[in-house]
Structure 1
Amino acid sequence: MIFAKIASASRPSPSMNRRQPVRESRWPNFAKDWLFTTEESVNPFYFAGRVLVFLLLVVWGWRFVTTPLDTNDTGDSFLHLVNLPFHEAGHLLFMPFGRFMTILGGSLGQILMPLICLVTFLVKTRDPFGGSVALWWTAENFMDVAPYINDARAMDLILLGGFTGQEVDAHDWNNLLTMLGWLPYDHRLAKLAYGIGTALMLLALLWGAMLLRRQYRRLDW
């Protein structure tokens, strides 16, 4: 009797022999549900419009990516005028948080606006292709800010009022980097911002291309 109890106690219980369920990664489900969701039947007219937009972003993006930072090509582009109101609004939006954030708010504002559009496209309208366009715009804003950072010491760029930073105390990045004690690193920080913009732009184009490929397979001819 005693030996039987010992033997039964030494046997592993059935529950111990069961394999623990392997938790599936959440990434594939997230990518499928949010980043790569596609209509069951894609309208050819809408698809053609998306292709045209994508080609425009490829051509425009290639110009930004291959143009050196020192040329300030992004600052001279049409999109700079689109970004400018969000830059100025950012100064006002962050004003309650002190002088440093008020100055930084300009660059933050123009980067946050496309990010808000990105989240809206993914969560509200469930339009990942629109999200890829918003990510491209976010990347372009990083590249738009980079020449401004690069000019922090020289202050040669013409600012909104038609003056340079040498003439008026209104150069955001000269003030910011001076307050941080990082003014000697302006060129490095500018290259970092431009590099982030380049990487995000290439990622946005890859995302858009993958979406168009999926949508092409579901065209409603």
Structure 2
Amino acid sequence: MKQCPKCNRDVQPTEETCPHCGIVFAKYYKYHGNSSTPAAERPQVVIQIDPAADTLFGNDTYRDNEAVFLGRCLLLPGFLLWSWLLITPGLASNSAGESFLHLVNLPFHEAGHLIFRPFGQFITSLGGTLGQIMMPMICMLTLLLKTRDPYGAGLCLWWVGENFLDIAPYINDARAGQLPLLGGNFGHSAPYGFHDWEYLLTESDLLAQDHLLAKLAQLIGAMLMIASLIGCGYVLLKQRQALTNSKPE
């Protein structure tokens, strides 16, 4: 007699299925192994851990691609210089607003107003800012989770930070209304509600804090940009280790 591995009842050795619980022994042993087989004869499952991989940055689709590695190495200094040019002039310079990226962010800003319009005037006004922040965040998550490109995701995080720098002068202009708005209007002469942050801060009783909130947005943007470039540098370090380890000795 032999024992059924599922219900533990005795079964004739010639039986292919258990008459008590109905399992097919061949299928069961295929996935669970035969406990009667000596441990030394059972197939062993070996899990290999790549020392260059980790949960966030190591799962890189392009980790073993030397051409991609070189391209990434060339991009990083450019983004470092670009960050310096955008961050160091300060809030008053509106360096992000004068950058060509402002024209890239603008369609997402306007689309945000349309997307959030069903949620009322306040959220519609806030939707412009949400739209231009959400787009690079969606790109970042897609690259990180779907494409498995942590370096590209890091650059999208840089883009999120740049959008905070782009928004900061707009917040700072809530009371002054001196920045040119879409359509050639200015905040000081446009109808109430046309200048997003004048409306948002007035409705929130925070208009007097516009400069403080603008500085906070500037700081968040700078920190995100710096953090993203550090992350990109870490990805390059991991990729270099993987490429070195993959080369024949």
Q: What TM bracket, shorter-length normalisation?
A: 0.7 to 0.9
Q: Which amino acid aligns with 2:237?
A: R
* Equivalence for 1:130: 152
* Equivalence for 1:196: 220
For residues 77 and 227 of structure 2, the distance between their equivalents in structure 1, rounded to whole angstroms, comes to 15
1:217 shift after superposition: 2.2
Q: Which amino acid aligns with 2:144?
A: L
* Equivalence for 1:59: 81
Question: Over residues 43-71 of structure 1, what are the superposed CA-to-partner deviations in whole Å (9 max), with x where a residue is unaligned?
Answer: 22111111222222111011122111011
User: What is the RMSD of the two structures over their aligned residues, measured on CA atoms?
Assistant: 1.6
* Equivalence for 1:154: 176
* Equivalence for 1:212: 236
* Equivalence for 1:98: 120
* Equivalence for 2:102: 80
1:37 shift after superposition: 2.4
* Equivalence for 1:141: 163
Answer whether contact 2:61 2:148 (CA < 8 A) is retained: no
- The structure with the greater share of residues assigned to helix is 1
Q: Which amino acid aligns with 2:65?
A: N
* Equivalence for 2:202: 178
Question: Over residues 83-106 of structure 1, what are the superposed CA-to-partner deviations in whole Å (9 max), with x where a residue is unaligned?
Answer: 000000000000000000000000
Answer whether contact 1:39 1:215 (CA < 8 A) is retained: no
Considering Cα pairs closer than 8 Å and 6+ residues apart, tell me whether 1 or 2 has the greater RCO: 1
Residue aligned with 1:34, SS: coil
For residues 41 and 150 of structure 1, the distance between their equivalents in structure 2, rounded to whole angstroms, comes to 42
Question: Over residues 128-177 of structure 1, what are the superposed CA-to-partner deviations in whole Å (9 max), with x where a residue is unaligned?
Answer: 11110010000000110000000000000011111211221211100110
TM-score normalized by the length of structure 1: 0.82
% identical equivalent positions = 51
Q: Which amino acid aligns with 2:229?
A: L
Stretch deviating more after TM superposition (31-40 or 140-149) = 31-40
Residue aligned with 1:32, SS: coil
* Equivalence for 2:60: 38
5+ residue gaps, structure 2, are: 1-52
5+ residue gaps, structure 1, are: 1-30
1:39 shift after superposition: 5.1
Q: Which amino acid aligns with 2:121?
A: R
Mark the structure with the bigger radius of gyration.
2
For residues 63 and 150 of structure 2, the distance between their equivalents in structure 1, rounded to whole angstroms, comes to 16
* Equivalence for 2:134: 112
Answer whether contact 2:61 2:149 (CA < 8 A) is retained: no
For residues 60 and 205 of structure 1, the distance between their equivalents in structure 2, rounded to whole angstroms, comes to 11
Q: Which amino acid aligns with 1:212?
A: L
Are residues 209 and 95 of structure 1, via their aligned partners in 2, closer, same or farther at CA, if it must alter by over 3 Å?
A: same
